[in-house]
Chains A and B, each alone.
Chain A
Amino acid sequence: MPRLLLAWAAFAVIMLLLPQVVSPGTLRIIIFANFLAIFAMSWDFISGKTGYISFGHPFLIGIGAYTSAILSYRFGVPVSLSIPLAVLATMIGGTLFFLPALRIKGTYFALVTLAFMELMYQLVQVIRPDLTGGTRGISGIKTILSGAVPNFYLSFGLMFAIALALWLLSRTRIGTALDAISMNEEAVSGSGLNTTRLKLFAFMVSALVAGLGGAFYAHYLGSIAPRALFDINFVFTIIVSALIGGSSTVIGPIIGAYFMTFLLEYLRPVLPGSERYLVYGLIALVLYVYQPKGIMELLRKLGVRAGGGRTGRAGNV
């Protein structure tokens, strides 16, 4: 435990020194990676941990982003208030997400969440476009900080705090119990635990993270649009980040998010046109099919080989 904490601290120190060495352009990429990492961690807390696969995670992120954006842009609510309210709204949305999970799981649950996202996409445009900005969304949302370096620190601080909190949480017995749900839900209730309450807890944590991430994301971007948020390509990026990194770990989604973001960005100078998305998708596909457990597993295997067959415990990080 202390050794791993040290590793976290080292990670933080390296990242905090980063603006000294890399260009603002790179920092901007990292900012997006940080937000993607937050979303992927949020996804993973429901889907990786409890095994309830969500195909509609942008539903939660979108509630967070839209609530804070509407409150601050339309009603002049200060960001310090609009973000907590957005998180609250997202958690209420998370309860909606949770209702189907009481009765269905697996594929059907995934499809309901997809339907939730689609519904949200349509409703945002139809209901009160004077508030949501309809199809065009809202532009000119108040930003919290400006400039690459401050925003890097903000996004990294947020991401790091969430990651550390989730990591600490997953090391408690509740983390063990949630992992157990993904393996065998009946046996968890057969161990005298209220799985409904545990799942609700996981959904609330996930919604909290999604709401927090979504709200800060909106205030970082300065603009939101339904087409960018409630989009199957966004779902794709979140899920693939979590899986390619390594599901049901905390570090995994972070690695995955960084990998996916940098991959797409570093393809830009080489392939400026639409070939970029093709190559990007193909790499994701091949990596996923080759190693569904993700980069964490690859690293673990490498570590095992290098360490002469010692069984690594990287899986618990």
Chain B
Amino acid sequence: MLQVLIQGFLLSGLYALIAVGFTLIFSVGRVLNLAYGAYLMIGGYAYFYMVQTLGMPKLPGFLFAIGMGALAGVLMYRILVKRLKGDQVAVEISTLILAVVIQAGIVLVFNDSSKILHPIVDGVWRIGSTTITNNILVAMVASWFILGGLLLFVKKTHVGRAMQAVSMDAKGARISGINTDRVNMMTWAISGALGAVAGVFFASYTQLNPSMWVAPLIIAVAVVIVGGIGSIVGTLIVAHIIGFMEIITTTFIAAELRGVFTMLLIIGVLVIRPQGLFGRGDL
């Protein structure tokens, strides 16, 4: 039981981290960025290249990954999203195409084989039969910090409040003098950076490979759908529902049915409560 609790919290922390950047774009830009998974991939590969190929220290590698993620976000916004002017379907489809393009690009540069990241932080400790690596612990703590920081950022800073305003009513925000274009670009940059951070941790959990963008995208989609858009707190709660559900399924039911339950949860929630468990709030 203790083991389930520990593992549940650890995994859920990672899931929250994965989902939060996606939530951000969804609530501010009201568009679904299907290339979100690509940020994770870009972040992970950028870190791998700096640290494990070039042998740089971890911190600059991490910063480089964040920078690449933010850059990817900005470019995506400038080149694709802005041009399509909030046409949701067009953004969804073009980001889907983009994700496939980025996947092909990664195959070209890094080839097809999977790569393993070193733990960002070494060391393990054990409670009973449960092993906790410091790496995962750090991922969870980082996830809490990042989510908390983001919450503060959104509530307390000028830019954050502008983001909130845009997420509630873009037209209204524009009328009241907010440069929605800049706010949107900031949001895409932050989302990209968050995605890259999540990517480094996700990859250090699992692996790097060119099709790794699909799994986190589905996690993010599941969290956002089940939670309802918006609410950072909602994201955190639902990440825990999904994380714990996976751990419980794996431990007590059947490990191979892990993904099936998540999909059933998405379908069930969308059909029964389309607004999500926590409504369609604002940021």
Are A and B close enough to touch in the complex, i.e. CB under 8 Å? yes
Q: A111-B221, A112-B270, A233-B100 are in contact. Are A285 and B94 (CB under 8 A)?
A: yes
On chain B, the residues within 8 Å of A12 by CB distance are: none
Q: Is the CB of A111 within 8 A of B264?
A: no
The winner among B84, B92, B257 for most chain A CB atoms within 10 A is B92
Q: A126-B260, A274-B108 are in contact. Are A108 and B101 (CB under 8 A)?
A: no
**CB-based nearest B residue for A120:** B263
B97, A240: Cβ atoms under 8 Å?
A: yes
Task: Please determine whether A281 and B84 come into contact, CB atoms closer than 8 angstroms.
Answer: no
Distance between B92 CB and nearest chain A CB, rounded to angstroms: 7
Q: Which of B94, B107, B256 contacts A289 (CB 8 A)?
A: B94
B-side contacts of A104, CB under 8 Å: 270-271, 274
In the assembled complex, which residues on chain B have CB atoms less than 8 Å from the CB atom of A236? 96-97, 100
User: From A280, which residue of chain B is reached at the shortest CB distance?
Assistant: B104
Q: How large is the interface on B (under 10, 10 to 19, 20 to 34, 35 or more residues)?
A: 35 or more
Q: Which residues of A contact B225 (CB under 8 A)?
A: 108, 111
Binary contact readout B240-272 vs A (1 if CB under 8 angstroms, 0 otherwise): 000000000000000011011001101100110
B80 within 8 A of A: yes
Beta-carbon contact of B270 and A108 below 8 Å: yes
Query: Which of these, A116, A118, A233, A278, contacts B108 with CB under 8 Å?
Result: A278
Q: Which of A242-291 contact B (CB under 8 A)?
A: 243, 274-275, 277-278, 280-282, 284-285, 288-289
Contact partners of B90 in chain A: CB under 8 A: 288, 292
Main SS class of interface, A:
helix
Query: Any chain B CB within 8 A of the CB of A165?
Result: no
Alpha-carbon distance A262/B107, docked complex (angstroms)? 22
Q: Which residues of B have CB within 8 Å of A235?
A: 96
Name the residue of chain A whose CB is nearest to the CB of B79: A289
Let me know if B271 and A100 touch, CB within 8 A.
yes
B83 within 8 Å of A (CB atoms):
yes
Given contacts A104-B270, A289-B80, contact A122 B107 (CB under 8 A): no
B112 contacts which chain A residues (CB < 8 A)? 274
Q: Is there an interface contact between A289 and B267, defined as CB atoms closer than 8 Å?
A: no
Say yes or no: A103 contacts B80, CB within 8 Å: no
Complex contact B96–A118 (CB within 8 A)? no
- The complex places the Cα of A285 from the Cα of B271 at a distance, in Å, of 32
CB pair A278 B270 closer than 8 Å: no
Q: Are A115 and B104 in contact (CB under 8 A)?
A: no
Is B105 an interface residue, CB under 8 A from the partner? yes
Residue-wise, chain B 81-97 has the 8 Å CB interface mask toward A (1 for contact) of 00110011110111011
A111-B225, A115-B267, A288-B93 given; A281·B101 CB < 8 A: yes
Q: Are B101 and A282 in contact (CB under 8 A)?
A: yes
Q: Which of B93, B260, B274 contacts A239, CB < 8 Å?
A: B93
Q: Is the CB of B101 within 8 A of A285?
A: yes
A53: B residues at CB distance < 8 A? 89, 92
On whether the beta carbons of B259 and A118 are closer than 8 Å, the reply is: yes
Residue A106 CB within 8 A of the other chain: yes
Minimum C-beta distance from B253 to chain A (A): 12
- Our count of residue pairs bridging A and B at CB distance below 8 angstroms stands at 106
* Nearest residue, chain B, Cβ from A126: B256
Interface positions, chain A 117-154, Cβ under 8 Å from B, are 118-119, 122-123, 126
Give Cα A232–Cα B90 distance, bound, in whole angstroms.
Answer: 17
Residue of B nearest to A109 (CB): B270
- How far is B87's CA from A118's CA once the two chains are assembled, in angstroms? 26
Is the CB of B147 closer than 8 A to any CB of chain A?
Answer: no
B94 to chain A: which residues have CB within 8 Å? Answer: 285, 288-289
In the complex, whether A215 has a CB less than 8 A from a CB of chain B is: no
CB distance from B49 to the nearest CB of A (A): 18
- Which of B92, B104, B218, B260 is close to A281, meaning CB atoms less than 8 Å apart? B104
Q: From B112, which residue of chain A is reached at the shortest CB distance?
A: A274
In Å, the complex CA distance between A280 and B260 comes to: 33
CB distance from A126 to the nearest CB of B (A): 6
The reply to whether the CB of B71 lies closer than 8 angstroms to some CB of chain A is no
Name the one of A114, A115, A281 contacting B97, with C-beta atoms under 8 angstroms: A281
Residues of B within 8 A of A115 (CB): 221-222, 263, 266-267, 270
Known contacts: A103-B274, A107-B32, A122-B260. The answer to whether A277 contacts B107 by CB under 8 A is yes
User: Which residues in window 99-143 of B have CB below 8 A to A?
Assistant: 100-101, 103-105, 107-108, 112
User: Residues on A close to B: CB < 8 A?
Assistant: 53, 55, 99-100, 103-104, 106-108, 110-112, 114-116, 118-119, 122-123, 126, 232-233, 235-236, 239-240, 243, 274-275, 277-278, 280-282, 284-285, 288-289, 292
List 6 additional A-B contacts (Cβ < 8 Å) besides A232-B100, A233-B100, A288-B93: A114-B221, A115-B222, A240-B97, A277-B107, A280-B104, A288-B90
The 3 closest A-B pairs by CB, nearest first: A281-B101, A278-B104, A119-B263
Q: List 12 A-B contacts (CB under 8 A).
A: A106-B89, A108-B270, A108-B274, A111-B225, A111-B266, A112-B270, A116-B263, A233-B100, A235-B96, A274-B107, A274-B108, A288-B94
